A and B are shown apart, each in its own frame.
Chain A
Amino acid sequence: MKCDVCENEATVFLTQIINGQMTTVNLCETCSKAKGVTEETGFGLAEAFLSPSHRAESDTMEIVCDACGFTASQLKKIGRMGCPECYAAFRDGLDGLLRNMHKGTRHVGKRPSHTSAVVPQILPRQRATTLKDSPPPAPVAPPAVPPPDLAKLRAELDLAVKEERYEDAARLKSEIENLQPKASK
């Protein structure tokens, strides 16, 4: 099979399913490296960075990370940060990006218990953007009107999965998710 970019033999085959849309890309070794496709989600991410809205936003000025010298255009190009401090340097627009990429913009889950690791790095500097941050909970979906019966939805989901009605399951799943921040967190 030929590489989608050049004429070489493709050795990297990438299949991504985003919101049920499947895309397949075949690349040769060289092109896959050039595109940064070695990590599973890297490709979609690179596209996200290259989307017109992001481009317009950051073309106006070049932001550079003080700690490592990584630039906003490098970030756009490879879709990765240069160092941990980059998250502070490139915080503008980060929330929007993360919202597209994840379930939320705020970490839930394990935290290092050892104190040396928990020095806040991003938050103090992010005070500059308090406006964006002001409603801290439920960053993804605004809390819905009085929650319908969550337990009932869960039961329906179970049933849907059991009966292999995956389309229904997906719909119920997202309904439940939309309720989650209010109901269980």
Chain B
Amino acid sequence: MMRFATLIKNPADWMKGAGPHSDVVMTSRVRLARNLRGYPFPGFSQERQRIELLERARPVVEELPEMRDGYSEDYTDLSKIRKQVLVERHLVSREHAARSSGCAVVVDRKQSISIMINEEDHFRIQGIRPGLNLTSAFEVVDRVDTELESLLPYAFDPKLGYLTACPTNLGTGMRASVMLHLPALVLTEQINPVIKAIGKIGLAVRGLYGEGTEALGNLFQISNQHTLGEAEPEIIAQIEKVIEGVVRSEVTARAKLKEDHQTMLRDQIGRAFAILRYAHILTSKEALNLLSMLRLGADLDLVGNCDRSLIDMLLLEIQPAHLQLNAARELSPEERDSMRADLTRTRLQSIDGPGSFPTSQSNNGGTTSPTNDE
């Protein structure tokens, strides 16, 4: 079995931002909710029932071909910080991390599949792929699900489908969600109508942490709300189609920004780089928003020598639990803000930064020298 340290040291492919439409689509995730017959749902079961189910199911899950030699941990053995790191990596849900006895998570070696045991449902099987690739994420969880179903008695009803703790998950038990980076739609103030339209066709839009419309880091999650009455491929095709539309709008908005508002765009990106490169105190919110601008700059070739994967890893590493894991101790919010800035200063050393001069001039020498505005 894989150790926690090994898991963390080796970032998954989906964390490094390389997939279809990766400039706009960070990740595609599909999760299936599954339950066993004869056991109450975790939210209404006694601890001994959860432990009984865990002891029965965990060895079966660990032995699935996809999950073999992966990472598997009982929550009673996992510190709060480590659990939170798994949340920040989207390998477990917040709700699951808040639980303890009778819960476990199993992650495959490639970190593209995670199976939570005794979440809101007995099983939450999740697949993650980089970029826009819900179909591939679904194929993975579908395969794991089919294997698991042959080994354990699922609660399934011919009319209602997979029976889940919450009726909102009934039927397919599938939630397909896509994480989008939409800085240009936010900057050009087109984001609200887009969100509104998406809501109208029955999809949910949330920020990275479920916050308001102007989400942190311009990151938005879009997912299906309906799980009953439509087959999985239909649901996925619908979301992908909608997302492709959003991606086109974002790309158009980026091109327009670059063409019509070049100075403003360069200013924003330049400021973002400067702060990330030289600040000593950075809150999580500020860092996320600045990294978003830098990512936009990198995608528009306005930041020299800046690889998207560096930014995407930073987006993970600046989060509170990752910082604390790195420091190997609990940190106060002030300490975190300081260590976060240390981290971005160090990582951005290797980047040339946004060019300081208009494109017409061929000055490649001191790209980090300040512009003289006045």
By the criterion CB–CB under 8 Å, are A107 and B204 in contact?
A: no
Chain A, residue nearest B216 (CB) = A13
Interface residues of B in 68-105 (CB under 8 A from A): 94-95, 98
In this complex, the interface size class of chain A, counting residues with CB under 8 Å from chain B, is 35 or more
Structural contact, B44 and A101, CB atoms closer than 8 A: no
Q: Can you list, as one digit per residue, whether each of B38-61 has a CB less than 8 Å from chain A (1) or not (0)?
A: 011101100000000000000000
A105 at the A/B interface (Cβ < 8 Å)? yes
Q: Are A109 and B161 in contact (CB under 8 A)?
A: yes
Chain A residues positioned under 8 Å from B195 (CB to CB): 17, 22
Output the least CB separation between B210 and chain A (Å): 5
A105 and B228 within 8 A (CB):
yes
Question: Are the C-beta atoms of B212 and A13 separated by less than 8 Å?
Answer: yes
B184 to chain A, nearest CB (A): 13
Number of interface residues of B (CB under 8 A): 72
B156 A118 Cβ-Cβ under 8 A: yes
B interface footprint on A96-124 (CB within 8 Å = 1, 0 otherwise): 01100111111111111110111111110
B217-254, CB < 8 A from A: 223, 225-232, 241-242, 244-245, 248-249, 252
Residues A20 and B159 in contact, CB atoms below 8 Å apart: no
Tell me the complex Cα distance, A15–B149, Å.
35
| In the complex, per-residue mask of B147-190: 1 if CB is within 8 Å of any chain A CB, else 0 | 00110011111111111111110111011000000000000000
**Is the C-beta of A167 less than 8 angstroms from some C-beta in chain B?**
yes
Inter-subunit contact B241/A161 (CB<8 Å): yes
B80 → chain A closest CB, angstroms: 13
6 A-B pairs within 8 Å (CB atoms) are namely: A84-B41, A87-B157, A87-B160, A107-B159, A109-B231, A164-B249
Residue of A nearest to B166 (CB): A80
CA A13 to CA B221, docked complex, whole Å: 14
By a CB distance below 8 angstroms, the chain A residues around B205 are 15, 17
Complex alpha-carbon distance, A117 and B173, angstroms? 15
Contact B158 A123 (CB under 8 A): yes
Q: Inside 8 A of B168's CB, which chain A residues have their CB?
A: 39, 41-42, 45, 101-102
Interface assignment of A31: CB less than 8 Å from any CB of chain B: no
Is A121 in contact with B171, judged by CB distance below 8 angstroms?
no
Q: State A63–B175 Cα separation when bound (angstroms).
A: 30
The interface residues of chain A lying within 8 Å CB-to-CB of B211 are 13, 15
> In whole Å, how far is B155's beta carbon from the nearest beta carbon of chain A?
4
Residue of B nearest to A83 (CB): B40
B201/A121 in contact, CB under 8 A: no
Task: Tell me how far the C-beta of B208 lies from the nearest C-beta in chain A, rounded to whole angstroms.
Answer: 10
CA distance A109 to B174 in the complex (A): 10
Please measure, in the bound complex, the distance between the C-alpha atom of A74 and the C-alpha atom of B43, giving whole angstroms: 12
Chain B residue with Cβ nearest A11: B209
A39-B95, A97-B167, A107-B171 known, 14 other contacts, Cβ within 8 Å: A13-B210, A40-B175, A80-B165, A81-B167, A84-B155, A84-B163, A107-B162, A108-B229, A121-B163, A161-B242, A161-B244, A164-B245, A164-B249, A166-B197
A111, B166: Cβ atoms closer than 8 Å: no
Cβ contact of A104, chosen from B39, B44, B228, cutoff 8 A: B228
Is A111's CB under 8 angstroms from B212's CB?
A: no
B255, CB-defined interface residue at 8 Å: no
How many angstroms between the C-alpha atoms of A11 and B291 in the bound complex? 22
**A101 near B167 (CB under 8 angstroms)?**
yes
Q: Assess whether A173 is interfacial by the CB under 8 Å rule.
A: yes
Asked if B161 and A82 make an inter-chain contact with CB atoms under 8 angstroms apart, the answer reads: no
CB contact list, A128-182 vs B, under 8 A: 139-140, 161-162, 164, 166-167, 169-170, 173-174
Which one of A24, A80, A118, A139 lies within 8 Å of B229 (CB-CB)? A139
Does A78 belong to the interface (CB within 8 Å)?
Answer: yes
Let me know if A20 and B248 touch, CB within 8 A: no
A45 to B167, CA, bound (A): 8
Q: Does B19 touch A at the CB level, under 8 Å? A: no
